[in-house]
Chain A
Amino acid sequence: MSAAIVNAYVGAFFEVALAHDAVSAVEDDIFRLARAFESNEALRSSLTDAGLPAERRQKIIEQLLAGKAHNVTVQLVSLLVGTGQVALLPKIADALVKRASSEKQLEVAEVRTAVALTDAQQQRIADALTKATGKRVNLKVVVDPSVIGGVIATVGDEVIDDTVRTRLDQVKSRL
């Protein structure tokens, strides 16, 4: 049931974004919002709080994304909040990114770092991953402080982990 709903929303979002010629912007905005939704407890509880009127929750998301996301993104996420399906946002975002990448014959490359990357660094990482995997990648960067340092990249089923967290985990295991 959940997968069917996700697929329905993904199809609708993609078609709307495509109609507005904003697929890249929308999928990038939704991807970043989904990661924030996952990591931010306050945001998650506010948007999923059934005690809050849908209009109030939609207002929150509109204020949050105002000026930071494409207008189509704001409208689509507001719709999702209004229908009470915002809990599916991470799955919808992942599926939408995958769908958009697939349309462009790209492989999604999720990169997690402890600090924000410059555009140049993102481009260099995308080039390096393309070279390493032999696939053109659609780079998605997630700033994740739990990484501590370094980078972990996931391209399809392949994971390239060069993070300080993993090294510390190995030290802990040895201890």
Chain B
Amino acid sequence: MNLLSLVLAAEDPTQSHHWLFPEIAEILYGSIASVAVFSLLYKVGWPMAKKSLEARTAKIQKEIDDSAAARREADADAANIRKALGDIASERAKILAEADAQAAALLAEGRTRITAEIADLEARATAEIAASRARISDELRAEIARLAASATTDAVRAALDDRTQQDLVDGFIAKVGASR
């Protein structure tokens, strides 16, 4: 049984509805309505949808372009950074070299100065030791002389009894009296 027989059969009001297919008129009206709706949709909705799709496409394209531009900029920045890093490394090496040179110069100068100061201190210490030795020797000699003189004085005082005192006075008288 084909569709036409079915439609014809549907026109028979005595026949009952098919469990699957609607009535012919319903199909017809439905089809017309569908065509009208689809036509209307095509006429009105499609341009809008197309426009929306185009806008979205343009937006996506723009985002892709922006991303590409951002990536290029990032690549450029990365290149600059790499270049700067290279410059920094070079500058760092240069600064380190200069610092090493200055440190070496300072070290050499410091060693020279310290050596000179040590030599000066040694010379001064030697001179002071010699002076101290001489001074101590002089002081010791003076102290020995003082003690010897004191001991001599004490010994002489102890030896000067009355008889000796009188002898000394008589000796003075004799010496002075004989002087002219």
B153 interface residue (CB < 8 Å to A): yes
* Contact status B177-A127, CB under 8 Å: yes
* Contact status B169-A168, CB under 8 Å: no
Give every chain B residue within 8 A of A168 (Cβ-Cβ). 149, 152-153, 156
**Docked CA distance A22–B145 (Å):** 51
Give every chain A residue within 8 A of B152 (Cβ-Cβ). 168, 171
In chain A between 120 and 158, which residues have their CB closer than 8 angstroms to a CB of chain B?
121, 124-125, 127-129, 131-132, 134, 148-151, 153
Give every chain A residue within 8 A of B149 (Cβ-Cβ). 168, 171-172, 175
Query: Please, what's the 1-or-0 string for B150-165, where 1 marks a CB less than 8 Å from any CB in chain A?
Result: 0011001100101011
B176 interface residue (CB < 8 Å to A): yes
* Contact status B180-A132, CB under 8 Å: yes
Please give the distance in Å from B180's CB to the nearest CB on chain A. 5
**Docked CA distance A153–B148 (Å):** 28
Please give the distance in Å from B85's CB to the nearest CB on chain A. 89
Give every chain A residue within 8 A of B15 (Cβ-Cβ). none
Give every chain A residue within 8 A of B176 (Cβ-Cβ). 125, 128-129, 131-132, 153, 160, 162
**Docked CA distance A128–B174 (Å):** 8
A12 interface residue (CB < 8 Å to B): no
* Contact status A148-B160, CB under 8 Å: yes
Chain B interface residue count, Cβ-Cβ cutoff 8 angstroms? 26
Give every chain B residue within 8 A of A162 (Cβ-Cβ). 168, 171-172, 175-176
B173 interface residue (CB < 8 Å to A): yes
* Contact status A149-B164, CB under 8 Å: yes
* Contact status A148-B172, CB under 8 Å: no
B179 interface residue (CB < 8 Å to A): yes
* Contact status A150-B172, CB under 8 Å: yes
**Docked CA distance A172–B146 (Å):** 7
Give every chain A residue within 8 A of B165 (Cβ-Cβ). 114-115, 149
In chain B between 123 and 162, which residues have their CB closer than 8 angstroms to a CB of chain A?
144-146, 148-149, 152-153, 156-157, 160, 162
A117 interface residue (CB < 8 Å to B): yes
Please give the distance in Å from B40's CB to the nearest CB on chain A. 147
* Contact status A121-B160, CB under 8 Å: no
Extra 5 A-B pairs, beta carbons < 8 Å, given A131-B176, A148-B156: A128-B173, A132-B179, A150-B171, A164-B160, A168-B152
Q: Which residues in A have some Cβ–Cβ distance to B below 8 Å?
A: 113-115, 117, 121, 124-125, 127-129, 131-132, 134, 148-151, 153, 160, 162, 164, 168, 171-172, 175
The contact sample of 12 A-B pairs, CB cut-off 8 A, is: A114-B165, A125-B169, A125-B172, A128-B173, A129-B176, A149-B156, A150-B169, A150-B171, A150-B172, A153-B176, A162-B176, A168-B156
Closest 9 A-B residue pairs measured CB to CB?
A175-B145, A128-B177, A151-B172, A172-B149, A128-B176, A150-B168, A162-B172, A115-B165, A132-B179
